[in-house]
Structure 1
Amino acid sequence: MMDMSIRPDWEASWIWGSGTESPRNEWRCFRRCFVAPTNAEQAVVRLTADSRYVLFVNGARVGRGPVRSWPFELAYDEYAIGHLLRPGAENVIAVLVIHYGVSTFQYLRGRGGLLLQLDIPGFSGPLLATDDSWLTAVHRGHDPRTSRISCQLGFTESVDARAWDSGWNGPRYDDSGWEPATVIGAVGMKPWTRLVERGIPHLTEEPVYPARVEQLASVQPIPWNAVIDLRNLLVPESADHANNVEFSGYVATVVRLDEAAVFTIGIVDDGRIPCRVSIDGRWLEGGDYAEIESRRHAAVELQAGEHLLLLDVTGRSHGHGFHLGFDCDVSFDVYSPVPGQAGSVPFCAAGPFDHVEIIDHRPVRSLDRSHPDYLRMQDVSSADELMHFSAWIRTVDPQLVHPDDVFALSVWKKAETRHSVPAAMQHAVIAGADPAVIPVYAGRDTELVIDFGRELSGYIAFELDAAEGTIVDGYGLEYMKNGWMQHTYQLDNTFRYVCREGRQSYESYVRRGLRYLVLTIRGAARPVKLYELKLLQSNYPVADTGRFRSSDPLLSDIWKISRDTTRICMEDTFVDCPAYEQAYWVGDARNEALVNYYAFGAREIVERCLKLVPGSSFQTPLYADQVPSGWSSVIPNWTFFWVGACLEYYRYDGNSAFVADIWPHVKLTLDKYLSLLNDNGLFENEGWNLLDWAPFEQPEAGIVTPQNMFLVKALRDAAELGAIAGFGDEADLFVREAGKLRKAIDDHLWDSERAAYVDCIHADGQLSATISMQTQIVASLCGIAEGERNRLVERYIASPPPAFVQVGSPFMSFFYYEALAAIGRFDLLLADMRRNYGFMIASGATSCWEMYPWSGFSDDPRILTRSHCHAWSAGPVYFLGAHILGVQGLTPGWTKVRIAPQPCGLEWAEGSVPLPHEGRIDVAWRLTGEGELELRVEAPAHVELATVAPEGYGMKVERVTVGD
């Protein structure tokens, strides 16, 4: 693994509580009181935990962590806390540990544990260390039954303030009912065999207040709902990984009506589980369902009495919750068909009759859907008949069903009435104003939609006064227009807070991304007074060092939303988006790193991201596409982009020690890729061969042309890295392999009749029916085509043929812009940017979208994209800085920089580009006459500048030197 510094002086022990080693969704609290000495000003605490922690000193929140990391290289954090201690008096250190108990896209399941040590310089040994003198208790106010936020993330939160004293983390708290912590092992124990420093600064927490109350409504909720974890229910061992699982099985419940009525069953889902429903033995058919956005509703006439609902949940699940709701105008009960279980979970499960884990997109085998008992159970019409299959019936762990599904309540309402927003209601978004009084409507709940004005990512916090038992439900979303909300059916972005009596405050422990927050007040005995609402914006600490403005205000706006998108998606790693996933996708991060260089100049986060990737070698030597993750998944292009990103980082930072460290890992994976070349010398792969969301042929099995082309580039980039690291012979081998692969592509993947590179050769030997711009763009970028073929490909790039599949995402546009820049067509680059990103601006975007609306991902014209904030789309910052301002590093560490502006019809442009270690370069140019350009450059004295006039222009240069 990587050579990271290790602190050898740990004397603390790992501790946990009694009970389960790896409990699901447990919030566990730890406390230790102590008297601080008089010289405690320099006190430093170090700690880490599995899975996440929140640290408090004398009731003050100090920090959150740890940063995502592999369990065998677990990061720890360090905080100076001397200013929070009271010398000579009793102090308390308290830690909330949130243990997931399931693997996610950020975390591999380990076991519950806390490690903490408090040191004061000059002391012989620690002042305080975790051991059995610490006290611990499960946080009784947290409901452990909450659902997964998404398959990528942990759990939603539901906190009952009546059940837990918010002062538990302070010194004056009665902890006599807590148990002593259990020592579970010393530093170095499994699974945390190695501890490493985090290597990056702590993230920000900046209070951001909303812009306005968008709307007010009185709403009537549906009477019954629940969310079920089908994946862990039917395949319990799937908690140990984050791979897709296929299963065959049923969930059953009994509904009893007091009188005959229309009963509505709602699958509040987007069809990931193609659920079939049987009522008393009659299976509902397609015509029985009504599609309402992504929800399926079936309204059926039911007689008074008991009815068996059997849900065939056979399908594939990655870990999302299964949301189910019932509506009826008469009273009804829902309970389990299993005798004696009526007062507990209202479901039972049958199966699985078969299940299959999908590892790296390849199931071990096909799911068997023909088990005789699975088929016979389809004829069951009553609870008594169901019990004939008792061998298959399993009771449901209460932790796998949450009966208060805030998501279902938020997106499916029985009735809704909009009201005008009183002027005083806007006090809800104004810090320090009189409180906003939220009205109570008879027989209804009160719903506020609050607009923060832009996409954010962090922790919701509020202060209010309410009656005991008042429920505050929160639901975050990214987009709405004219009252219509784009609901997040792949994301349970919700929370619940149950109030104690009086004035109180709450700060969420779960990170979430959103622009709009839907707050619903339920069961209020009196109006709620909302004193404050804010979001603690949390991101990697960067300043707005990079800047860009021009005579075209649209380009200035595009640059700004691209910069803001990147900042929001900089956490402890780069992440794809703040809402749906918060995952570090390796290929996305290559583009994000380049944007970051021009916007912020942050280096440590890039190095940290690059060094995390080889940790996935225990999953696959091809390296995983998102890390650290429990999902064993490979996108070969993402690994190839990682290789290029390592070289680009060296060119920016100039750190040859990094290259020496990373080179063995680059070589390991590319050697493995070379071993997968077929008899024709082409890379042939079965897996997720992704490049773009557009509908061109990139099959899971076969020879995918862009993938082979990017492998050529990766081999060339690796050769350069190898030469820098001092391994010339191995580097030369990669150069030769790149040449052989380039020739094989030219020999086998060029279609002379269609005069273009084909998109793929399918596993059966058939050439792709599609010809795409994606493949021609990559051919140009990777230097595949030569001679007349190259000239033809360049013509396609300058003038895309309508018959070719077009670019389908801003991510692919990044490569398109690279290809346009390489052939000097900056005018076309800006025209495409204005058209595509200008559409986002015109649609009210404050951050860059994941997709283009015309890529065909949705049939609903109101849905413009999935994620409304996606950093893989933030390329304009890079291209406007590198080409319109014209700032490009020529040497590693940017000791020499070229300034080559491109006017492209603009009258002027100005801005700043950060330098990698200190300072920045300020550039301003202006057209002063026909074919004349005036350039001003301000840069540190140690930077050598090379200025290049745009073709056809004379240029007058003013250099301003900063420093000696």
Structure 2
Amino acid sequence: MDAGGIAWQAQWIWGGEEDRPRNEWRCFRRSFELPDQGVQEARISITADSRYVLYVNGILSGRGPVRSWPSEQSYNVHEVGHLLRQGTNTIAVLVISYGLSTFQYLLGKGGLLAQLEAETNAGASFVLGTDESWRTASHKGYDRRSPRMSCQLGFSESVDAGLWDDGWTGGESDLPEWENARTVGRPGDEPWPSLKPSAIPPLTEETVWPVRAESLKRVEAVSWTTALDIRNAMDPDSIRHANRVSFVGYAAVIVRLSEDAEATVGFLSGFDALRGIAVNGTYYSANDMEGERPERYQRLRLRRGDNLLALDLAGTDHGTGLHFGIDSEAPFELVSPLGGESGSEAPFALIGPFAARVPIDHEESDSPLADYEGFGGDKPLDEQAFEHFGIYGSFRAVSSPSELAAYEKWIKPFPAELTARESVFAKSVWRRTEESLPIPMDVQAVCMANRTPAVLPLFEGADTELILDFGKEWSGYLRFEADAPAGTVLDFYGFEYMRDGWRQDTYILDNTLRYVCKEGRQSYESPVRRGLRYLMVTVRNASRPVRLFGVQIAQSNYPVAEIGRFHSSDPLLNDIWEISKHTTRLCMEDTFVDCPAYEQAFWVGDSRNEALVNYYVFGATDIVRRCLELVPGSAWQTPLYADQVPSGWSSVIPNWTFFWAIACREFAEHAGDRSFAKRMWPKIRFTLEHYLRKIDDRGLFFIRGWNLLDWAPIDQPRNGVVTHQNAILARTLRDAAKLAELAGAAEEGAVFAKAADSLVEAINEHLWSDERQAYLDCIHADGRRSDVFSIQTQVVAYLNGVAEGERKDRIAGYLIEPPASFVQIGSPFMAFFYYEALASLGRYDIMLDDMRANYGQMIEYEATACWEMYPNFKENRPNPKMLTRSHCHAWSAAPGYFLGAVVLGVRRASDGWKSVKVAPQPGDLKWARGAVPLPDGGRIDVSWRIVEREGGRVFDLEVRAPKGVEVELIAPDGCSADMRLLETR
């Protein structure tokens, strides 16, 4: 029996010959008879490696599992009694096996575990578990060679509806492909030694329709595209982790033409390790190619016969596929340099790797290449870089396939499974020609939920492209219904932003789906989560007009009620609060995630601020508890705890671990949960003891790692003493001592309080500049004191109790009027801490003005969610139209917290919100009203207004609170007030 009380009779099952198949979509089904008495109640407990979609009698009944460490594999329980019937029933499960580690999943092995438990109306029990009686088959409709979506995610999908019976989830479907499943383990067996029930409820699914057709085009596709998984080809063992990998080598192919011709090779990818290409011995550097980065194009003159194209690949990569193509008016074939049939679907050869394949992470690598360009340094590659540099360099000059014999030792086939049959992303972004057309009103019908089809125009010799606007950013599962002839290709590509015809393409995210139609009317729902606002739909190969009956997103997020409210006399602040709320909701999945499109990863440090926003907008606590409890599971990777979990990337940002510990204390006090404090205290103590081992002889925290706080150009080297990190560690040690008190371990916590005092003393001794009267950013590993001074460093020194006396007053002045010579705040994430400092200073006016300026900029550009970075930040270059990378990033949703905590003035006064202070700070507002959720249910409603009465202006405040909550009302300084506390009706 596991932690959830399940007495497992089921076994782990799988099928086929591969234990860890890459990108396999495997079907399982079991039909059974139910007794005549009927079912009173029934549930299915289920988990899978990697992900599953559950159907009962053809009805989609659940998805999962929630992300978890394999050592504590999570399972879901789905209520299915209402779907069962007397007689024959069928349980069907689609399981997606990634076959590699991502930022949400660690490689285990293919497996399904499911158990149906039912009680009949007659009081009898019925149990059915997975075993060898279940039937299974690899879903032939899904192309296993579809590319990775990104290094953080699994795979995009390409499905041919004509290759599989879509009725397999309901009625009988026992084609020759089906076989009996094989047992691969019992509950408790490795790699899943422990099973735990999901700690959160099922996620929502809400149908969202597009609001308008944004554009319609006639487009002509380029000749050929593909995507190569270079990282996995260079290092096959890299499937076991998600760390960066370094490599040096080539991928080569022969381009065969029947005549001399002009051609263009185009690269449409954020893949950074492409150095250039060699064509028949002529080398073209990637830096000299045409195009607006990251797009790169090289025009070529190809000769009749065989042309050797070699891609020069030297650098590091996380798992971003290399998407590229070749376009020519003349027909051509691709042939393997190793011989074989022309027109092969996997014609590439891999040459190398010529240098050791070394995982790279943010604690730095000892790779001999670490000092070179593309590997973390700035030295050009030379003879000293690696042993086989000469062979690597000479390959560029190979001018014909006949010369390849000299490299026989180094050449092997590029694996077919790592070679996409086509890059839908590249084909969506790069077109030979395009022509914009007016959008007929009947095409707008695709946005209307009245089942009237949109008839898409058909063009001779070209494709039809339609872009749909869903009005806001959304995150979930794509659905559509169409009537089309067999063989029609529907390519879908989701992205976040476009303006005045310019589209921000997602070069590090293959956010695409290819669907090859069967004949007639058909529907499809993707099992792959996507984030997007805009959806490009391209119709290819249609022999008659395609009718679209609808395209929707099944919006999916952690189930929350929008309890929090904010409305004021400033419409701009109201809009800012709304986008903060929407952003936070979209970034609440089975954990908090950084963004719904690019990563969908649980970044530990981000979630501290996201939790605070959630407390004030939604009031959810289970998701926060779950997130905090996941983090120590990374101890097997590092005692310092990883910065995103559960993940195959063994990466540490010390500040992210510190924010996690702070968030644990905040949650225990917010929820009034001392049992949580007791559970977490040993885990916090464990990691902080390891961090304290990195205190140097000066008493300062010195570490070689990813010493991040803000994306701005502050001096935060990968090796040395970083001031902001030391200040945040001091705060963390003090918060740990407070948590220890809650856990009943005050004596143990006192050790950390003492360590905090010593650290603060060392910071003030070594990291203060008398000349600049400010805290410097860092001391480098060689002892050099930084000459960089930043607002970020001053913020954390003030906020975390490092600055005292005159220094504190001096720093406060910098926060009120930031010196132009200091590095300025670079991201909305850092603004959260800036606002905390301003609130403690009582400078609410500056906070509101900053929101209006920076978040107002987002509203000006019609943002529906908060951006990851401020516009035109250095990470966005070289394209000035690119305002930010992610257009929905919850680390940026600070106004959702501060407008409730400051303008409405609602603050917790005791653990569990048993007592509350309401002290509104109006700033320049005339009125505001809203609500703040309470953790145990209920809310605090606040309404205030500045009114003119006889004798002057009066602050009129009305507060409603549940019975039993003690509320203290505090008027703004200098105001006469009329304040009323009422009980919630």
Q: Which residue of 2 aligns with 1:352?
A: 353
Q: Are 1:269 and 2:292 counterparts?
A: no
* Aligned residue pairs, count: 960
Equivalent residue runs for 1:356-367 within 5 Å: 356-367=358-369
Q: Which residue of 1 aligns with 2:912?
A: 893
Q: Which residue of 1 aligns with 2:789?
A: 771
Residue 103 of structure 1 aligns to a residue in which SS? coil
Of 503, 528, 546, 1:485 maps to 503
Alpha-carbon distance in structure 2 between the residues aligned to 1:835 and 1:137: 57
Alpha-carbon distance in structure 2 between the residues aligned to 1:802 and 1:17: 64
- Aligned-pair identity in percent equals 52
Equivalent residue runs for 1:613-692 within 5 Å: 613-692=631-710
Equivalent residue runs for 1:300-319 within 5 Å: 300-319=300-319
CA deviations 1:462-517 (Å, max 9, x no partner) are 00100000000000000000111001111110010000000000000100000000
- Conserved in 2, the CA contact under 8 Å of 1:338 and 1:383? no
Q: Are 1:495 and 2:513 counterparts?
A: yes
Deviation at 1:532, TM superposition (A): 1.2
Alpha-carbon distance in structure 2 between the residues aligned to 1:502 and 1:239: 40
Deviation at 1:48, TM superposition (A): 0.3
Deviation at 1:377, TM superposition (A): 2.3
Deviation at 1:124, TM superposition (A): 7.8
Q: 1:177 to 1:153 in 2, by over 3 A?
A: closer
Equivalent residue runs for 1:360-759 within 5 Å: 360-367=362-369, 368-371=385-388, 372-759=390-777
Q: Which residue of 1 aligns with 2:157?
A: 157
Deviation at 1:915, TM superposition (A): 0.5
Residue 363 of structure 1 aligns to a residue in which SS? coil
Deviation at 1:709, TM superposition (A): 0.3
Alpha-carbon distance in structure 2 between the residues aligned to 1:214 and 1:240: 42
Q: Which residue of 2 aligns with 1:42?
A: 41
Structure 1 runs of 4+ with >6 Å offset:
122-125
Q: Are 1:167 and 2:167 counterparts?
A: yes
Q: Which residue of 1 aligns with 2:944?
A: 925
CA deviations 1:172-196 (Å, max 9, x no partner) are 3334541000011110010100000
Alpha-carbon distance in structure 1 between the residues aligned to 2:613 and 2:3: 29
Residue 474 of structure 1 aligns to a residue in which SS? strand
**Over the residues paired in the alignment, what is the CA RMSD in angstroms?**
1.4
- Conserved in 2, the CA contact under 8 Å of 1:915 and 1:921? yes
CA deviations 1:187-241 (Å, max 9, x no partner) are 0010100000101010000000000000000001110111000011110000110
Alpha-carbon distance in structure 2 between the residues aligned to 1:4 and 1:845: 46
Alpha-carbon distance in structure 1 between the residues aligned to 2:683 and 2:177: 51
Q: Which residue of 2 aligns with 1:872?
A: 891
Residue 396 of structure 2 aligns to a residue in which SS? helix
Alpha-carbon distance in structure 2 between the residues aligned to 1:522 and 1:854: 37
Q: 1:277 to 1:854 in 2, by over 3 A?
A: closer
- Conserved in 1, the CA contact under 8 Å of 2:216 and 2:439? yes
Equivalent residue runs for 1:280-359 within 5 Å: 280-285=280-285, 289-340=289-340, 342=342, 343-354=344-355, 355-359=357-361
Alpha-carbon distance in structure 2 between the residues aligned to 1:57 and 1:275: 51
One-letter amino acid of the structure 1 residue matched with residue 248 of structure 2? S
Q: 1:4 to 1:935 in 2, by over 3 A?
A: farther
Q: Which residue of 2 aligns with 1:938?
A: 960
Residue 290 of structure 2 aligns to a residue in which SS? strand
Alpha-carbon distance in structure 2 between the residues aligned to 1:173 and 1:728: 63
Deviation at 1:125, TM superposition (A): 6.9
Deviation at 1:44, TM superposition (A): 1.1
Q: Which residue of 1 aligns with 2:380?
A: none
- Conserved in 1, the CA contact under 8 Å of 2:916 and 2:967? yes
Deviation at 1:960, TM superposition (A): 1.6
CA deviations 1:845-881 (Å, max 9, x no partner) are 0000000014322232101000000000001010000
One-letter amino acid of the structure 2 residue matched with residue 76 of structure 1? Y
Q: Are 1:52 and 2:51 counterparts?
A: yes
Equivalent residue runs for 1:832-911 within 5 Å: 832-857=850-875, 858-911=877-930
- Conserved in 2, the CA contact under 8 Å of 1:230 and 1:322? yes
Alpha-carbon distance in structure 1 between the residues aligned to 2:269 and 2:69: 32
Alpha-carbon distance in structure 1 between the residues aligned to 2:872 and 2:219: 35
TM-score, length of structure 2 as denominator length: 0.96
Alpha-carbon distance in structure 1 between the residues aligned to 2:936 and 2:654: 32
Deviation at 1:41, TM superposition (A): 2.5
- Conserved in 2, the CA contact under 8 Å of 1:622 and 1:636? yes
Q: Which residue of 2 aligns with 1:25?
A: 23
Alpha-carbon distance in structure 1 between the residues aligned to 2:637 and 2:800: 29
Alpha-carbon distance in structure 2 between the residues aligned to 1:592 and 1:287: 39
Residue 755 of structure 2 aligns to a residue in which SS? helix
- Conserved in 2, the CA contact under 8 Å of 1:437 and 1:527? yes
- Conserved in 1, the CA contact under 8 Å of 2:613 and 2:893? yes
CA deviations 1:97-137 (Å, max 9, x no partner) are 00100100000000000001111248787521000000000
- Conserved in 1, the CA contact under 8 Å of 2:23 and 2:97? yes
Alpha-carbon distance in structure 1 between the residues aligned to 2:554 and 2:6: 35
Q: Which residue of 2 aligns with 1:82?
A: 81
Q: Which residue of 1 aligns with 2:136?
A: 136
- Conserved in 1, the CA contact under 8 Å of 2:336 and 2:349? yes
Residue 428 of structure 1 aligns to a residue in which SS? helix
Deviation at 1:329, TM superposition (A): 1.4
Q: Which residue of 2 aligns with 1:242?
A: 242
One-letter amino acid of the structure 2 residue matched with residue 84 of structure 1? L
One-letter amino acid of the structure 2 residue matched with residue 889 of structure 1? R
Residue 43 of structure 1 aligns to a residue in which SS? strand
Residue 42 of structure 1 aligns to a residue in which SS? strand
Q: Which residue of 1 aligns with 2:100?
A: 102
One-letter amino acid of the structure 2 residue matched with residue 444 of structure 1? A
Greater displacement, 705-714 / 377-386? 377-386
Equivalent residue runs for 1:52-71 within 5 Å: 52-71=51-70
Q: Are 1:953 and 2:975 counterparts?
A: yes
- Conserved in 2, the CA contact under 8 Å of 1:40 and 1:82? yes
Q: 1:441 to 1:834 in 2, by over 3 A?
A: same
Alpha-carbon distance in structure 1 between the residues aligned to 2:789 and 2:849: 24
Q: Which residue of 1 aligns with 2:253?
A: 253
Residue 662 of structure 1 aligns to a residue in which SS? helix
Residue 566 of structure 1 aligns to a residue in which SS? helix
Alpha-carbon distance in structure 2 between the residues aligned to 1:850 and 1:366: 34
CA deviations 1:66-114 (Å, max 9, x no partner) are 0000000011010111110111x11000000001001000000000000
TM-score, length of structure 1 as denominator length: 0.98
- Conserved in 2, the CA contact under 8 Å of 1:288 and 1:299? no
Residue 354 of structure 2 aligns to a residue in which SS? strand
One-letter amino acid of the structure 2 residue matched with residue 152 of structure 1? Q
Alpha-carbon distance in structure 1 between the residues aligned to 2:694 and 2:713: 26
- Conserved in 2, the CA contact under 8 Å of 1:808 and 1:854? no
One-letter amino acid of the structure 1 residue matched with residue 879 of structure 2? D
Deviation at 1:768, TM superposition (A): 1.5
Q: 1:568 to 1:623 in 2, by over 3 A?
A: same
- Conserved in 1, the CA contact under 8 Å of 2:225 and 2:324? yes
Deviation at 1:369, TM superposition (A): 3.8
Q: 1:743 to 1:23 in 2, by over 3 A?
A: same
Q: Are 1:16 and 2:24 counterparts?
A: no
Q: 1:496 to 1:344 in 2, by over 3 A?
A: closer
Q: Which residue of 2 aligns with 1:219?
A: 219
Deviation at 1:397, TM superposition (A): 1.8
One-letter amino acid of the structure 2 residue matched with residue 887 of structure 1? V
Alpha-carbon distance in structure 2 between the residues aligned to 1:935 and 1:729: 44
